[in-house]
Structure 1
């Protein structure tokens, strides 16, 4: 056993060295810097920050580089690092109405109060490969625009004035922190939203898509989608007031959903909600759709058995780090387990053959 363990250690050390060599690639090609990843692969950086629950573009870019572009491995690295950080306190709730918007659109009102801002988007591109990018030339200068400042009202506020959309209850307690407490069921809405924010984008997208295809009676409109910068503030007990720590970029989505009423609620529109670190539109919209699907019990709707309505199914399987760990552990040695299975199959097979031989003799 000692020799086998020592041999295994040498093999692992060599595997790590080989991994580092593969990560570097052809040394005739210039190495990609963390700054380049941060600035030119910003959507990948945003995803790693969101699913890693840590807002640090430089650290996320470094994790992507270390993981050779494997997003889930990069998220794993970020979460592992996050557990080593001290916790000094909690920031004040952010006010998304005060967002400096780079992008703000509504699919429900053409002339939205405060205006629509198309911003940087793939929505109207032709999805054709741009071979000019292979020339590594400078990108054309974007037109100069004046950032939107001041309060930008939410679209749903105008529906609320006419009592056409469900009123959200005001929170009275500090939400539980999913990064410090285990997930258990039933989960309140704040905990569900945290889990969806950290959830794998592909999984949350597939759940959202299922609701659009009829598995959950979810007919959404994007009431508003906004991307922009927000200040983060923290109250300092010694000072007695909050100070600004810095700005973060977030994506917020509110969906407006049809609702014909129930035994407890009148006919009105209802909401789905998504808020994610960085410019992460697909995730925020998906999150809003799944959030609405899981609210069936709160709204007095029938559970039609759709996967997206099952909070335990959705939240237990959305965490890509947890899923990856459980999936990939089967690559590791299971020699003893397999040998016991092998012996069992041999014994059952011998017993079955003996029974058949006996039946044939009779």
Structure 2
């Protein structure tokens, strides 16, 4: 570390104190509370929880405050904290068909059972700064709260997945081509290192906690022709799902809480093969919180990675290369490897410097000899 640099440990302590001062900002401005960050910066909270692999809005808010708004640093803090937590067991797979939807849209069908639910979204807003927000005036009215409550109460208990209608007519591949996972649970990426080749279940785990920006770029590349991946959003839904856990002493499962999730299923073209008739194929994304951009990107990349399974040609697209995608998608690994180069490398550099000097001397000697 930089202990040997001017000031030593005292300089490091001062750097920490300066960081705390910068985090606090001007003392005449009220300090942000954890509750304010949790309630008013929800999308940032959701990203930190998703990529940190820990659903806890309060801890995510604390991490964002500690990291001064640097979301990757906040994700790092959450990941580190997560490793200290005991594990009591595993929950059952969540039933997203029973999701209480705040938002549920389909780009493939206009009329779907349960209806389109636009929900809270920027999709229909003008991208103009709203200076009324700077005035910090007022709070949402009771009428808005009542309307939201009425909409929630009006939701049917279950909303069938839109792709189920294509499946019913045999127009889309089955939901899973892999063996039944009930008797062989997939590896847990939070406890075991990634190994290649990876199953689809393991790939989806990696994509769920991958860096949103990296995944967005890869997904965009597939739309521009790098993977021949033209997709429609069959369904995008956001809402709360129950988490259930089997209790051996009771002999049945109980609900231990609810979490907010975003699920995206894409419909992709497929011309068929010698053993498969022409039909649509699927891409899938499931992420903590309201993170629809991430879920859509995840579904596009998931589909691109399935080229070999579906008997398609490898066209050399980055999104088709599982080793490239999965080895570089994790922003914590990327950050650690990238930022370590700002730490002391005096010995390494001196050896490189001496090598360059020697090569220059040898080149100069050779040039003089040629004369």
Which is further off, 95-104 or 135-144? Answer: 135-144
Aligned to 1:146, which of 124, 132, 151?
151
In the alignment, structure 1 residue 51 sits paired with structure 2 residue 51? yes
Does 1:67 find its partner at 2:67? yes
The aligned residue for residue 360 of structure 2 is 349
- Contact kept, 8 Å, 1:92 with 1:232, in 2: the verdict is yes
Residue in structure 1 matching 2:325, options 311, 314, 326 = 314
8 Å CA contact 1:114–1:152 kept in 2: the answer is yes
Secondary structure of the corresponding residue to residue 245 of structure 2: strand
Paired residue for 1:180, among 187, 191, 205? 191
Structure 1: tracts of 5 or more residues without a match: none
Equivalences for residues 186-201 of structure 1 within 5 A: 186-201=197-212
Task: State the match for 2:181 in structure 1.
Answer: 171
Aligned equivalents of 2:167, 2:240: Cα separation in 1: 25
Could you list the runs of 5+ residues in structure 2 that have no partner in the other structure? none
1:290 is matched with which residue: 301, 306, 330? Answer: 301
The one of 322, 327, 336 aligned to 2:338? 327
In structure 2, what is the Cα distance between the partners aligned to 1:171 and 1:263? 27
Counterpart Cα distance in 1 of 2:228 and 2:128: 35
Deviation track 1:90-125 (CA, whole Å, cap 9, x = no partner) reads: 001100000000000000000012111001110010
Shift of 1:7: 4.1
Instruction: Tell me what 1:253 maps to.
Output: 264
Q: What is the count of residue pairs matched by the alignment?
A: 360
Asked if 1:156 is matched to 2:156, the reply is no
Distance 2:6 2:256 in 1: 49
Distance 1:297 1:8, change over 3 A: same
1:36 aligned onto 2:41:
no
Cα 1:19/1:175, change in 2 over 3 Å: same
Superimposed CA distance per residue, residues 225-265 of structure 1 (whole angstroms, 9 cap, x where no aligned partner):
00000110111111111111111000000000011112342
Please tell me whether the aligned partners of residues 3 and 12 of structure 2 are also in contact (alpha carbons under 8 angstroms): no
Task: Look up the match of 1:136.
Answer: 136
Instruction: Give, in angstroms, the shift of residue 10 of structure 1.
Output: 1.6
Partners of 1:153 and 1:190 in 2: how far apart? Answer: 23
Indicate conservation of the 8 Å contact 2:2/2:8, yes or no.
Answer: no
Aligned to 1:84: 84
Task: Return the TM-score normalized by structure 1.
Answer: 0.97
Contact 1:166–1:270 (Cα < 8 Å) also in 2: yes
Q: For residue 239 of structure 1, what is the aligned residue in structure 2?
A: 250
Query: Is the contact made by 1:308 and 1:314 (CA closer than 8 Å) also made in structure 2?
Result: yes
1:78 & 1:25 partners in 2: Cα distance? Answer: 23
CA–CA separation in structure 1 for the residues paired with 2:213 and 2:115 = 31
Q: State the distance in 1 between where 2:2 and 2:156 align.
A: 67
Distance 1:112 1:357 in 2: 83
Secondary structure of 1:146's aligned partner: helix
| 1:182 to 1:2, Cα distance in 2 relative to 1, 3 A | closer
Kindly report the root-mean-square deviation, in angstroms, between the aligned alpha carbons of the 2 structures. Answer: 1.5
Q: Shift of residue 3 of structure 1?
A: 8.2
Q: Which residue of 2 aligns with 1:112?
A: 112
In 1, distance between residues paired with 2:88 and 2:222?
A: 40
- Aligned partners of 2:56, 2:156: CA distance in 1, in Å? 24
SS of the aligned residue for 2:267 comes to: strand
SS at structure 2 position matched to 1:253: strand
